[in-house]
Structure 1
């Protein structure tokens, strides 16, 4: 278990009236002391969160940003009424002495503790989510060279980084479950073949980017891929956005950084407890990771806000502490997840799709906290089922495909999964009881074609993104060069990149996905009726 360094002690000095405040009001002074004592209890073991709470407990007057002034007066009243005054007190500007300013600050201590917890040599706190981390990773990789080999089922934010850095990408295709249209991972052999093909064509590869675990919980052989990548002299970057909990229970896969990855991006808000939009980037060990470090640091400065949210930073610190210290909650949650999966198996009508992932060589394990269910027994498509679950039963699931819905259970949580099973049962019964002649709104499934392969990359992504572009109807876009990155979301896999030729298969897939209720990131409009293309 990781142990925190001693949290800085902020002494209450009665003579100086609580941290040097000027108040002489005994009631106000007592209230400040009470706040300080409560802060110490709530944030033990979390140095950044503790320092922030101590600052919030001070009897001080703010003549600096943020404009709400950390109190419930003026325009701050509406914020306090909605969020609570405590949120305003903790929402502070960056670069404050005793919080994040200077060497050895509580911010630095918190990041060192996070590096220890996940097995990294260094960790950066992010307030822009894993999307920010992916852009950082792509920019850092560009510092090693222009060639990047990337898993095609990458998140579109990594493509954004490719565009920003002007890298030259090539691709390794993941294995795909054709029955459910699910992209899994890549094998070490596939990565080796793609590296050899790239080098045979005269191109260099400075970094390789893979995704593990996948959106559906498939875990790749990170250690095996790291060996192949390092033998080729390249850096391995792992998008582990969905694997922040890995390494904290022996029954789970290990943290990718302990398996040889040089850079790991992870969204702690997805499966652990930090607030939405908080994330981490971990640096690995060894000479390649050391060569990456200055590029990662520069990429962080370029992509981070100069007004990072102290609330998000504190949530990362507390999340790390609880992952390390609350093993009891993690174990109880793991037991509950296994019981939920067994409940669906025993029922038999809605198979757990990831039970069959071991049929794919790219998958060496699964994340049990993602439960993808085959819902075809309802008689409806997954998008329709997802909407009905939310609207009629108040049951929210993470995502849907034509044949599946995916339930996500955060580690440390123990929800009653029978609520989901009972709702699916009711939906199936309603559909079965409906007369074939009776049209039920929303029950006509939209047929989505299989996820298409990429079109030919005719110019580099950055050149296409910055080129003169025009908007044309979808039919006229076929055969043209895309100026945009388009991805049906979820899961955010780029279906066409800037510089690639737009194929009829891509157009059909994106339009059908939009019609089925998916959001197509980067599209001109919600129905994908038109495309931005390069003027040739």
Structure 2
């Protein structure tokens, strides 16, 4: 048995002063903005204020793009690095003969410019030091900005660590991006079954002992893994013991890749779990467009140590990176920026936990192997109301104007973020309270939907499969379509999952989930009456 190295215990919050501030793309200097403030006023409040100029279309006066970033400063009077670069570029008096065609906003579509302001088109720059600044802030030896989300970062990480035919150990509940990474790289999976709670219908993390057992299984077959991939945190905020897993991997000479898409904020508050880089990960991919407020699809790939070749990471990530700097990732990071969000998340848990028929994940130690959770992710169990999570999500959206992040067979997940307001939490608690009362009264609101799809437990969504073909072999194999009822024993030829969360699941689970209202992604037949399989 391989012994685990002790996990790092230094959990001190990092220095998040304005001087090293980097994280939030479009966050105003003053975070709290009243609802009645128009978008243009919000842009001005955040420093994106401009001088007036006549509209080229003869309508209302518009803002001059060349002044778009004038005045955007931090509390100490300085500009964050990327803002400085963007501001300098926006203020240049130049004749542009390059892409994009709107020429820094001069030919921007009027309706779009009116909605988001011409500042969005003015901020084009050719160079920026911000990747180096991000590397310092996030504790990596090098950081790359990505514009295809964490999906492309996971793909690049697997390409950088695994050659065709080599083995990648990964949890069975890995995101679909890991499967596509194996198609691209030619890596062969060695799956580890994560902890699963059938009452909640939620998968947790993987344990160090499971990782050690997977390595020993490979060793008995005369193989060794090329890399280990861990998803931490999961979509529900459940974290694996990354430090201990890193110790196991490094003793065996195996690099650890962490899909940390939902944990980019972990360095910035004392109550958050330790970040993967702090726990010894060799590569970590973070979605800055989630909790950290960057523009959609922006992400970061971090490298640490010397176990993974830097040039190979750079080469593998090149197709995923923009040829110009990732200008979606701007920076404001005053100290204590997450204090209010953490307090609101705690308040939400307390209030929701008192509602009859509803439970809050993390209140009863559901996942003993994954004791640490992201406090900003609030997942509630609604099966006690006699409805599924999909049904509850539909009622909350249509009847109470509450939009969740993720719905599942028995649960609904809510993401508390920097922009969450107290009135949002109050509406959430009130909406769930009314949902509970409606279920207790047997009201028509619940009966109409619940009568179609009752909240019976679903099949386990995944198991450790016998791998008949590698993902790459299955992708390029000849295929045919068969009726689902005749598909037993066939090799699936398409990546099918409920989305979100985007995890390929067992067919029985998918069929039941669709009946309960889940959205199915990746299937040629979205009704799942037929399925694409590989020719034998």
Q: Considering the TM-score relative to the shorter chain, is it more than 0.5?
A: yes
Counterpart residue number, 1:509: 509
- Go from structure 1 to structure 2 and tell me whether the alpha carbon gap of 1:364 and 1:57 turns closer, same or farther (over 3 Å shift): same
Q: Secondary structure at the match of 1:269?
A: coil
Q: Does the CA contact (< 8 Å) of 2:498 and 2:519 recur in 1? A: yes
Query: 2: distance between equivalents of 1:32 and 1:494?
Result: 45
Query: 2: distance between equivalents of 1:512 and 1:87?
Result: 44
Deviation at 1:339, TM superposition (A): 2.0
Q: Does the CA contact (< 8 Å) of 2:479 and 2:533 recur in 1? A: yes
Aligned length: 476
| 1:429 counterpart (429, 432, 437) | 437
Find out whether 1:196 has 2:216 as its counterpart.
yes
After TM superposition, the score normalised by the length of structure 1 is 0.82
Counterpart residue number, 2:472: 462
Q: Secondary structure at the match of 1:511?
A: helix
Counterpart residue number, 2:399: 392
Deviation at 1:304, TM superposition (A): 3.0
Q: Secondary structure at the match of 2:507?
A: helix
Q: Secondary structure at the match of 1:282?
A: strand
Query: 2: distance between equivalents of 1:111 and 1:305?
Result: 13
Find out whether 1:301 has 2:318 as its counterpart.
yes
- 1:181-220 equivalent positions in 2, closer than 5 A: 181-220=201-240
Counterpart residue number, 1:50: 84
- 1:283-294 equivalent positions in 2, closer than 5 A: 283-285=303-305, 287-288=306-307, 291-294=308-311
Find out whether 1:518 has 2:518 as its counterpart.
yes
Q: Secondary structure at the match of 1:533?
A: strand
Q: Over the residues paired in the alignment, what is the CA RMSD in angstroms? A: 2.7
Query: 2: distance between equivalents of 1:305 and 1:435?
Result: 53
Query: 1: distance between equivalents of 2:292 and 2:276?
Result: 16
| 2:196 counterpart (166, 173, 176) | 176
Moved more, 78-87 or 241-250: 78-87
Counterpart residue number, 2:502: 492
Query: 1: distance between equivalents of 2:446 and 2:356?
Result: 28
- Go from structure 1 to structure 2 and tell me whether the alpha carbon gap of 1:391 and 1:191 turns closer, same or farther (over 3 Å shift): same
Which structure has more helix as a fraction of its residues?
Answer: 1
- Go from structure 1 to structure 2 and tell me whether the alpha carbon gap of 1:64 and 1:349 turns closer, same or farther (over 3 Å shift): same
Q: RCO higher in 1 or 2 (8 Å CA, sep ≥ 6)?
A: 2
After TM superposition, the score normalised by the length of structure 2 is 0.82
| 2:257 counterpart (237, 249, 254) | 237
Counterpart residue number, 1:161: 181
Counterpart residue number, 1:78: 111
Query: 2: distance between equivalents of 1:359 and 1:81?
Result: 49
Find out whether 1:251 has 2:271 as its counterpart.
yes
- 1:288-437 equivalent positions in 2, closer than 5 A: 288=307, 291-306=308-323, 313-318=326-331, 321-322=332-333, 326-347=334-355, 349-356=357-364, 358-411=365-418, 413-416=420-423, 417-434=425-442
In structure 2, list runs of 5 or more residues that go unmatched.
1-14, 23-62
- Go from structure 1 to structure 2 and tell me whether the alpha carbon gap of 1:38 and 1:201 turns closer, same or farther (over 3 Å shift): same
Deviation at 1:393, TM superposition (A): 1.2
Deviation at 1:213, TM superposition (A): 1.0
Deviations 1:210-266 (A, max 9, x none): 111111111111110101111111000111111111121122111111111000011
- Go from structure 1 to structure 2 and tell me whether the alpha carbon gap of 1:31 and 1:40 turns closer, same or farther (over 3 Å shift): farther
- Go from structure 1 to structure 2 and tell me whether the alpha carbon gap of 1:130 and 1:344 turns closer, same or farther (over 3 Å shift): same
Deviations 1:388-439 (A, max 9, x none): 1111111011112222111110146444312112112222333443468996
Deviation at 1:384, TM superposition (A): 0.6
In structure 1, list runs of 5 or more residues that go unmatched.
7-29, 101-105, 496-505
- Go from structure 1 to structure 2 and tell me whether the alpha carbon gap of 1:33 and 1:211 turns closer, same or farther (over 3 Å shift): closer
| 2:120 counterpart (87, 91, 100) | 87
Q: Does the CA contact (< 8 Å) of 1:72 and 1:79 recur in 2? A: no
Deviation at 1:365, TM superposition (A): 0.9
Query: 1: distance between equivalents of 2:69 and 2:286?
Result: 33
Q: Secondary structure at the match of 1:354?
A: coil
Deviations 1:107-139 (A, max 9, x none): xx2111111211111111111111111111111
